[in-house]
Amino acid sequence: MEVEEVKKVLGIEFSFMYDVINPILQDLKLDKDAKILDIGTGKGRMSITLALNNYRVLTGEPENDNSEYAKQDWLNDAKKVKVDQLITFKPFNAENLPFEDNYFDAIFIMGALHHIENPATAFKECVRVAKKRGYICAIEPTHKGIKIIRKKIPTHPAAEDPRNYIKDLPVEIKKGFMFDVFIFKK
């Protein structure tokens, strides 16, 4: 399915996030057989975008997360655009990742860091499971983005600055209107 058709099928919110995420993926130039982790499945926007780029992705969130942000019907959207076979869901907690050291080529945390109870521990886990020369990409709302989100969800938490949790890795920051992207390289 062509990207413009996918955007029509999945709607404006997906379209907007795709336009934020896809250029980052293109810049990273990951191998097509890269091992990729998406932390915080939510509506599946990150996983679906990865799959639309022909990447296989493992995604998950805590099994006991009953917040309005978790357990969204991402699978139905992935099926609508015929990429569900590239996405595997596994429940896990970001603060205690059930994966071996140095396993993933890239880890993405899109709009989920500020929902994680202990972001410092989660980032320590990300560093542990990322391969040497692997990437950890955190996509967090800007102050303007939070204001817009809070019009729809008034209790939405403030964004996090992931640089507070990873001090010893180089980071590239791509500033945006609604979201900033923090790309750490191990």
CATH of the domain at 29: 3.40.50.150
* pLDDT for residue 64 is more than 90: no
- pLDDT level of residue 66 (50, 70, 90 thresholds): low
Q: What is the DSSP letter of 120?
A: H
* pLDDT score recorded for residue 128: 97
Q: Are 139 and 178 in contact (CB under 8 A)?
A: no
Dist. CA 64–CA 96, nearest whole Å: 14
Beta strands in 69-156 (DSSP E): 87-89, 104-110, 130-141
Strand order of the β-sheet with 36-39 is 87-89, 57-60, 36-39, 104-110, 130-141, 179-185, 171-174
In the chain, pLDDT over 90 holds for what percent of residues?
74
Q: Which domain holds residue 61?
A: 3-185
The reported pLDDT for the residue numbered 161 is 93
Tell me how many domains the chain contains: 1
How far is residue 119's CA from residue 109's CA, in Å, rounded to a whole number? Answer: 11
The H-or-E segment that residue 15 falls in is helix 12-28
Q: Using the predicted structure, report yes or no on whether residue 125 has a pLDDT greater than 60.
A: yes
pLDDT digits (tens, 9 = 90+) for 38-57: 999 989 999 999 999 999 99
Cα angle 161, 165, 169 (rounded to 5 degrees) comes to: 105
Say what percent of the chain tops pLDDT 70: 95
- Mean pLDDT (the chain) is 92
pTM for the complete prediction?
0.93
Arithmetic mean of pLDDT, 165-173: 92
Please say if the pLDDT value at position 88 is more than 60.
yes
Mean per-residue pLDDT for 100-121?
94
Q: Tell which residue, 58, 72, 140, 62, has the closest CA to residue 94.
A: 62
Looking at the predicted structure, is the pLDDT value of residue 70 above 60?
A: no
Cα–Cα distance for residue pair 82/174, rounded to 1 Å: 30
User: Side-chain half-sphere of 100: how many Cα atoms within 13 Å?
Assistant: 2
Cα 52 from Cα 83, distance rounded (Å): 7
